[in-house]
A and B are shown apart, each in its own frame.
Chain A
């Protein structure tokens, strides 16, 4: 089937199988490999993107469900010369090591801060990120980064 969606501000029409997942469309059809697959079961959060303003796990969204949707991936929030404040906070606070969970973590964190109304404390950040696994950082610096981004945002 054919679906049309907006990805990082650009309209895209792609021909997909009925059982294709949004993450496959992003990675395979559109070459946006910044969105990662870590578990295939919506447990790890490496595949988080924004769809119509909400953070979603793109390994658990059918491509068909994304027809007509507005999708933002890690590639769409900033670039090395003009980083999103959350990207900057992750870099400044050493909130990443191997980098594999990072795109999903950043996309979840942006959603969390946007919806947190500037009122997130450490516990709220930890609670809000419990859907994203990181095996490298022990979360310590990720939590610091998200709180810093909230203050700077």
Chain B
């Protein structure tokens, strides 16, 4: 049903009424009677042995309720924070993960790692108490440099060579043979800079313990409250699953960083049980910098083998990935199954071999950040392609065209384990070339030249695997959980609808998009649909939101439940109209007997289901409420073409993005306005990585980019307006034909920017972020 509020309409968001009036309900807005405040005491050293922690003075501080160290948690048998994805090394051995106690016990391994928590009557009392905690540290030399970490001091007793795993994917022999027969080999050396996610809402938690019921309630800033509950219950032993409720209310951005189960909420919910009072914590921004999981941080050498005509023959990638000090919740999967598997990109490269060595360092843990592995893969592939094009004198658009997988080739098996279901890569590239006016670039470049500026253009034709994930595939590759989703559609007595989804919205607009789907499918007015999420007490076990999965997986579950509603509705309607069930048709909110003028509305059927006077009770249960679990048969494969045009001032090194075009294929789109917004935000983060953002540790492991004065967040005056457009090849294996749009901007844009900057300067490479100083030096050949 095409309508003003159905699928395909840019409906204004339901969420906005509360957010624009200050009525949002974020974790830090929630207070419990009698609550106390937690302050974490954090390591000033990157690596040190803890000889002892003296809490006596802290405990004696005015207003301090309790002081806990790692030993207190250990005494209560609180377990380690686990990593949920088991990756195996080349030799078949399991990855090596060091113990990760929520509160450090014997050693601290990154600056900011908590080693005690102080609970106070007020925040100030807790802060004063934290100041009084006295630890006896024996400082050890920090391992900071990723490139030499394997041969540096051993950080963890149980982890030889500081290596988590040494993983491979692809056919080494076939790839070697491809290189032997190549006419040209393009080589790139890449550092994929460490990023710090920086959702504007800092992480927060409010833990409550109901002594009478023996139950715990944790409000926290999580993208996946059920996963949080499962880990805290089954692995960390805070409370049995049945006695722990996790609620993620309004959450102010996540970008991956709020997927993970962290020390702080673990300690907060545990401490609430110990002090028998609510315990509240909100990160200060400096804590966010130090102790949120960071993103990216790879060192890579990659080579692309080509034939004389520019056809790709083989790709060889060797990467070192920084895991930080411990293995975070999904850290192991990011540089492997979300990275190596994407190395075919949009191309027919027949032979690919990827090696990834993941190493520990004395830095904050690194895990998924918007795109998670796929931006890193795109950066490798698209820098290789651009380099090859320049070295061989082939137009960068043309070399991509010669190597695209063609629309007739799908389903397409890549040499790195994925099966792409559909796509039309040339269509996106053509549209992007038109938007940027590629034909006019030479003229624009000449104009810049005469004004003393250097103009460059850069391409990035990316692909991503989204809609995580087919559970059996994921589990066979090491995932510790399934990756389905649940959706429940409850029709109310009066015909309005309540949807309960296991997906979580922290900016993605589920309350609007999912209501559009229901309005479209059931013919119920948009304003009569309410979407609930973010509460383990409301939805069945579900996996939450990351990897651009909410609509493709969560939306599909809702569609399945909706189909069940319609099927049951037809039975009820057939009874009411004294017709046969197989004669019933349903469209636009009306059940009709085929080839007749007999019909009944959805609302009448709903009412009959709950006031079952004229209702087949002998055959059917009363009520109209259905639930479905959806497990995707494949990943989805959003893809697109991003083109960036920059002008560089050679005297200052300042890069001005004069135009940025993103043409993406997300399959069918439910709400174009929302999708465009997702792309804009992703582009800002991808451009941020290219030009501004850098998580930097000094040689001693101190985070020197630990505040907004030092870590450059893209601000309004740093960015241009964007040109965003789409092409459509519907996903072939989910009911909506959707692919996911949340990460594309961050995946495609970084390579486009850097290809443009290097093009402008006429140099082979520029390190990220391309700050004015870096660009100025690169322009001078330094």
In this assembly, does B475 line the interface, its C-beta being within 8 Å of a C-beta of chain A?
A: no
Kindly provide the distance from the CB of A76 to the nearest chain B CB, expressed in whole angstroms. 9
- Report the separation of the CA atoms of residues A73 and B22 in the bound assembly, to the nearest whole angstrom: 9
Q: Which of A40, A75, A99, A127 is close to B285, meaning CB atoms less than 8 Å apart?
A: A40
Chain B stretch 11-26: residues in CB contact (< 8 A) with chain A: 12-13, 15-24, 26
> Which residues of the partner chain B approach A60 to less than 8 Å between Cβ atoms?
none
A127 touches B717 (CB 8 A): yes
Q: Which of B19, B200, B716 is close to A38, meaning CB atoms less than 8 Å apart?
A: B200
Which of the listed residues A79, A87, A134, A140 has the most CB atoms from chain B within 10 Å of its own CB?
A140
Of the listed stretches A50-58, A90-98, A113-121, name the one at the interface; the rest are far from the partner chain.
Answer: A90-98
Of the listed stretches B157-165, B609-617, B677-685, name the one at the interface; the rest are far from the partner chain.
Answer: B677-685
B20 touches A126 (CB 8 A): no
Chain A stretch 18-41: residues in CB contact (< 8 A) with chain B: 27, 32-41
A33 touches B29 (CB 8 A): yes
- Report the separation of the CA atoms of residues A35 and B23 in the bound assembly, to the nearest whole angstrom: 10
In this assembly, does B198 line the interface, its C-beta being within 8 Å of a C-beta of chain A?
A: yes
- Report the separation of the CA atoms of residues A127 and B509 in the bound assembly, to the nearest whole angstrom: 28
Q: Contacts A87-B20, A92-B12, A102-B19: A44 and B717 contacting too (C-beta < 8 A)? A: no
Q: Contacts A136-B681, A139-B684: A38 and B506 contacting too (C-beta < 8 A)? A: no
> Which residues of the partner chain B approach A103 to less than 8 Å between Cβ atoms?
20, 22
**Across the two chains, which residue of chain B brings its CB closest to A17?**
B124
Q: Contacts A41-B707, A133-B708, A139-B684: A35 and B22 contacting too (C-beta < 8 A)? A: yes
In this assembly, does A150 line the interface, its C-beta being within 8 Å of a C-beta of chain B?
A: no
Of the listed stretches B251-259, B308-316, B437-445, name the one at the interface; the rest are far from the partner chain.
Answer: B251-259
> Which residues of the partner chain A approach B251 to less than 8 Å between Cβ atoms?
98
Mask of B627-658 contacts with A, CB within 8 angstroms, 1/0: 00000000000000000000000000000000
B722 touches A135 (CB 8 A): no
B285 touches A33 (CB 8 A): no
A99 touches B707 (CB 8 A): no
Chain A stretch 95-153: residues in CB contact (< 8 A) with chain B: 96-103, 106, 122-123, 125-127, 129-130, 132-143
In this assembly, does A74 line the interface, its C-beta being within 8 Å of a C-beta of chain B?
A: yes
Q: Contacts A43-B707, A138-B684: A94 and B20 contacting too (C-beta < 8 A)? A: no
A99 touches B715 (CB 8 A): no
> Which residues of the partner chain B approach A137 to less than 8 Å between Cβ atoms?
677, 680-681, 684
In this assembly, does A7 line the interface, its C-beta being within 8 Å of a C-beta of chain B?
A: no
B253 touches A98 (CB 8 A): yes
Kindly provide the distance from the CB of B371 to the nearest chain A CB, expressed in whole angstroms. 14
Which of the listed residues B16, B285, B709, B716 has the most CB atoms from chain A within 10 Å of its own CB?
B716
Interface size classification for chain A: 35 or more
In this assembly, does A9 line the interface, its C-beta being within 8 Å of a C-beta of chain B?
A: no
In this assembly, does B182 line the interface, its C-beta being within 8 Å of a C-beta of chain A?
A: no
B680 touches A138 (CB 8 A): yes
Q: Which of B286, B507, B673, B714 is close to A99, meaning CB atoms less than 8 Å apart?
A: B507
> Which residues of the partner chain A approach B676 to less than 8 Å between Cβ atoms?
94
> Which residues of the partner chain B approach A122 to less than 8 Å between Cβ atoms?
721
**Across the two chains, which residue of chain B brings its CB closest to A88?**
B20
> Which residues of the partner chain A approach B284 to less than 8 Å between Cβ atoms?
40
B26 touches A129 (CB 8 A): no
B285 touches A39 (CB 8 A): yes
Q: Which of A92, A97, A133 is close to B713, meaning CB atoms less than 8 Å apart?
A: A133
A143 touches B721 (CB 8 A): yes
- Report the separation of the CA atoms of residues A100 and B15 in the bound assembly, to the nearest whole angstrom: 12
B202 touches A38 (CB 8 A): yes
Chain B stretch 145-196: residues in CB contact (< 8 A) with chain A: none
In this assembly, does A68 line the interface, its C-beta being within 8 Å of a C-beta of chain B?
A: no
> Which residues of the partner chain A approach B15 to less than 8 Å between Cβ atoms?
99
In this assembly, does B282 line the interface, its C-beta being within 8 Å of a C-beta of chain A?
A: yes
A91 touches B16 (CB 8 A): yes
A38 touches B285 (CB 8 A): yes
Q: Which of B18, B23, B506, B707 is close to A98, meaning CB atoms less than 8 Å apart?
A: B506
Kindly provide the distance from the CB of B122 to the nearest chain A CB, expressed in whole angstroms. 9
- Report the separation of the CA atoms of residues A125 and B721 in the bound assembly, to the nearest whole angstrom: 12
> Which residues of the partner chain A approach B680 to less than 8 Å between Cβ atoms?
137-141
Mask of B197-209 contacts with A, CB within 8 angstroms, 1/0: 0111110000000
> Which residues of the partner chain B approach A79 to less than 8 Å between Cβ atoms?
21
A106 touches B252 (CB 8 A): no
- Report the separation of the CA atoms of residues A127 and B718 in the bound assembly, to the nearest whole angstrom: 9
- Report the separation of the CA atoms of residues A55 and B650 in the bound assembly, to the nearest whole angstrom: 37
Which of the listed residues B15, B681, B718 has the most CB atoms from chain A within 10 Å of its own CB?
B681
Kindly provide the distance from the CB of B436 to the nearest chain A CB, expressed in whole angstroms. 17
In this assembly, does B119 line the interface, its C-beta being within 8 Å of a C-beta of chain A?
A: no
In this assembly, does B392 line the interface, its C-beta being within 8 Å of a C-beta of chain A?
A: no
Kindly provide the distance from the CB of B125 to the nearest chain A CB, expressed in whole angstroms. 12
In this assembly, does B691 line the interface, its C-beta being within 8 Å of a C-beta of chain A?
A: no
Q: Contacts A74-B22, A98-B201: A126 and B717 contacting too (C-beta < 8 A)? A: yes
- Report the separation of the CA atoms of residues A79 and B21 in the bound assembly, to the nearest whole angstrom: 6
Q: What are 17 pairs between A and B in contact, CB < 8 Å? A: A33-B28, A34-B23, A43-B285, A94-B12, A96-B16, A97-B253, A98-B201, A99-B16, A100-B26, A103-B20, A126-B717, A133-B713, A135-B255, A136-B253, A136-B677, A139-B714, A140-B722
Given contacts A33-B29, A46-B200, A135-B684, 16 further A-B contacts (CB under 8 A): A38-B202, A41-B707, A44-B285, A94-B673, A97-B253, A98-B507, A100-B199, A100-B253, A101-B252, A103-B20, A134-B200, A135-B255, A136-B681, A137-B677, A140-B680, A140-B722
Residues of chain B touching chain A, judged by Cβ–Cβ distance below 8 Å, are: 12-13, 15-24, 26, 28-29, 124, 198-202, 250-253, 255, 282, 284-286, 506-509, 673-674, 676-678, 680-685, 707-709, 713-719, 721-722, 745
**Lowest 5 CB-CB distances: which A-B pairs, in order?**
A34-B22, A100-B252, A99-B19, A138-B684, A98-B507
